Amino acid sequence: MSWIVQFITAVRRTASGRIGLYVFAFFGLVAIFGPMLAPYEPFERVYHDGRLVRLASPSAQHWLGTTSLGRDVFSQMLYGARQAMIVGCATAIGVAAIGVNVGLIAGYFGGRIDAVMMRITDIFLGVPFLPFLIVVLAITGRSTTTIIFAMTLIMWRAAARVIRAQVLSIKQMPFVAAARTTGAGDFTVLYREIAPNIMPIALVNVTLAMAWAIITEASIGFLGYGDPSVTSWGSIIHAAYAAQMMYRAPWWVIPPGIAIMVLVSSVYFVGRAYEHVVNPRLAVQ
Amino acid sequence: MMAAAAVTTPAAPVLDVQGLSVAFRTRRGLAQALDDVSLTIGAGATVGLVGESGCGKSTLLKAVVGVLGGNAEITAGAVRFRGLDLVKADAETVRRQRWKGIAMITQSALNALDPVLRVVGIDPSRFSEYPHQFSGGMRQRAIIAMALVLKPDLVLADEPTTSLDMIVQDQIFRRLDELQSQLGFSVLLVTHDLGVVIENCVRVAVMYAGRIVEEGPIAAVVDAPRHPYTLGLKNSLPRLDRSAEPIAIPGVPPDPVAMPKGCRFAERCPFALDICWRESPPLREVAPGHRAACHRSADLHALRRAAEDHRTWASTAAARSADYGGKR
Amino acid sequence: MQRYILHRTWQMAITLFALMTLMFFLFRLLPGDPTMTVVSSAMDPRAQAAMRAQFGLDRPLLEQYLAYLVSYATFDFGYSFHSSGRVSDMLAGRLVNTLVLILPSMIVAYALGTLIGALLGWYRGRRFEIAAVLLATAVQAAPLFWVGMLAILFFSIHLGWFPPGHIVPPGAFPDPTWRMYLSPEFFHHLALPFVVHTAYQLSYPTLLMRSSMLNTIGEDFVEFARIKGLRERRILFGHAARNSLLPVATTIPMILGWALAGSVVIETVFSWPGLGLLMIEAVQRSDYPVVQATFFLIAILTILGTFAADLLYGVLDPRIVYD
Pick among A13, A14, A284, A285 to test the B interface (most B CBs inside 10 A): A285
Of C18, C31, C142, the CB nearest to A261: C142
Distances (CA, A) of C61 to A122, C67, C71, C297: 27, 10, 15, 24
Quote the CA–CA distance of C1 and C318 in Å, as a whole number: 9
pLDDT at position A112: 83
Quote the CA–CA distance of C319 and B119 in Å, as a whole number: 7
On whether the CB atoms of residues A251 and A57 are closer than 8 A, the answer is yes
DSSP letter string over B167-198? HHHHHHHHHHHHHHHHH--EEEEEES-HHHHH
Distances (CA, A) of B156 to A117, B99, B153, C8: 54, 10, 10, 49
pLDDT per position as a tens digit, C24-69 = 888 887 776 777 777 777 777 887 888 888 888 878 888 888 888 8
* Range in A177-191, B282-296, C189-203, C225-239 with the lowest mean pLDDT: A177-191
Quote the CA–CA distance of B258 and B23 in Å, as a whole number: 12
In total, how many domains does chain A have?
Answer: 1
**How close, in Å, is residue B160 to chain A by CA atoms?**
27
Average pLDDT taken over every residue of chain A: 86
Three-class DSSP category at B36: strand
Does residue A16 belong to any structural domain of this protein?
no
pLDDT per position as a tens digit, C150-182 = 999 999 999 999 999 899 888 888 777 888 888
pLDDT per position as a tens digit, A241-251 = 988 888 888 88
pLDDT at C104 over 90: yes
Query: Helices C61-73 and C2-28, interaxial angle, to 10°?
Result: 130
Does residue A56 belong to any structural domain of this protein?
no
Q: Test C268 with A262 for CB contact under 8 angstroms.
A: no
* Range in A25-29, A33-37, B84-88, C174-178 with the lowest mean pLDDT: C174-178
β-pairing, B211-217 vs B186-191, is unpaired
On whether the CB atoms of residues C138 and A261 are closer than 8 A, the answer is yes
pLDDT at A259 over 50: yes
pLDDT at C23 over 50: yes
Q: Where are the alpha helices (DSSP H) in chain A?
A: 2-12, 15-37, 73-109, 111-123, 129-140, 144-170, 174-181, 186-188, 195-222, 233-242, 250-278
Quote the CA–CA distance of C317 and B120 in Å, as a whole number: 8
Domain that holds residue A113: 23-49+63-284
Q: Test A268 with C214 for CB contact under 8 angstroms.
A: no
Q: Test C227 with B104 for CB contact under 8 angstroms.
A: yes
Interface check for B27 against chain A (CB to CB < 8 A): the answer is: yes
On whether the CB atoms of residues A82 and A35 are closer than 8 A, the answer is yes
pLDDT per position as a tens digit, C262-275 = 999 999 999 999 99
pLDDT at position A83: 95
Pick among B97, B116, B118 to test the C interface (most C CBs inside 10 A): B116
pLDDT at position C161: 92
pTM metric for this prediction: 0.82
pLDDT at position B11: 55
Interface check for B320 against chain C (CB to CB < 8 A): the answer is: no
| Chain B neighbors of A13, CB-CB under 8 A | none
Does residue A5 belong to any structural domain of this protein?
no
Does residue A12 belong to any structural domain of this protein?
no
Say what the ipTM of the complex is. Answer: 0.87
Pick among C214, C219, C228 to test the B interface (most B CBs inside 10 A): C228
Does residue A14 belong to any structural domain of this protein?
no
| Chain B neighbors of A285, CB-CB under 8 A | 26-27, 71
Residues of A engaging B, defined by a Cβ cutoff of 8 Å: 285
Most distant CA pair in chain A, distance:
81
User: How big is the B-C interface in CB pairs under 8 Å?
Assistant: 48
Does residue A2 belong to any structural domain of this protein?
no
Does residue A42 belong to any structural domain of this protein?
yes
On whether the CB atoms of residues C135 and C296 are closer than 8 A, the answer is no
Neighbours of A, requiring at least 3 CB pairs below 8 Å, are B, C
On whether the CB atoms of residues A185 and A202 are closer than 8 A, the answer is no
pLDDT at position A117: 77
Amino acid symbol at C265: V
- The residue with greater pLDDT, B111 or C94, is C94
Tally of CB atoms within 10 A around A284:
9
HSE value, Cβ hemisphere, 13 Å, CA-based, for B208: 28
| Block mean pLDDT (10 aa), chain B, length 328 | 42 88 91 94 93 90 90 92 92 91 80 60 47 68 85 92 84 89 93 88 94 94 92 81 73 90 91 92 92 91 83 83 50
Its sign, for the CA torsion C72, C75, C76, C79, is: positive
Q: Of B249, B256, B257, B266, whose CA–CA distance to B313 is shortest? A: B249
User: How big is the A-C interface in CB pairs under 8 Å?
Assistant: 133
pLDDT per position as a tens digit, A45-93 = 888 877 788 888 888 888 888 888 888 899 999 999 999 999 999 999 9
Q: Test A126 with C306 for CB contact under 8 angstroms.
A: yes
**How close, in Å, is residue B68 to chain A by CA atoms?**
15
Closest alpha carbon within chain C to A223: C265
Lay out the sheet containing B102-105: strands in order across: B102-105, B154-158, B186-191, B46-50, B203-208, B211-217, B290-292, B284-287
Interface check for B70 against chain C (CB to CB < 8 A): the answer is: yes
pLDDT at position B243: 63
**Predicted confidence band of residue A30 (pLDDT cuts 50, 70, 90):** very high
Does residue A238 belong to any structural domain of this protein?
yes
Quote the CA–CA distance of C200 and C147 in Å, as a whole number: 8
Q: Test A247 with C157 for CB contact under 8 angstroms.
A: yes
**Mean pLDDT confidence for A255-260:** 95
On whether the CB atoms of residues C156 and C163 are closer than 8 A, the answer is yes
Quote the CA–CA distance of B321 and B319 in Å, as a whole number: 6
- The residue with greater pLDDT, A215 or B241, is A215
What are the residues whose beta carbons fall under 8 Å from the beta carbon of B290, sequence distance 6 or more?
A: B215, B216, B217, B220, B221, B226
The H or E element spanning position B157 is strand B154-158
CATH of the domain at A101: 1.10.3720.10
pLDDT at position A212: 92
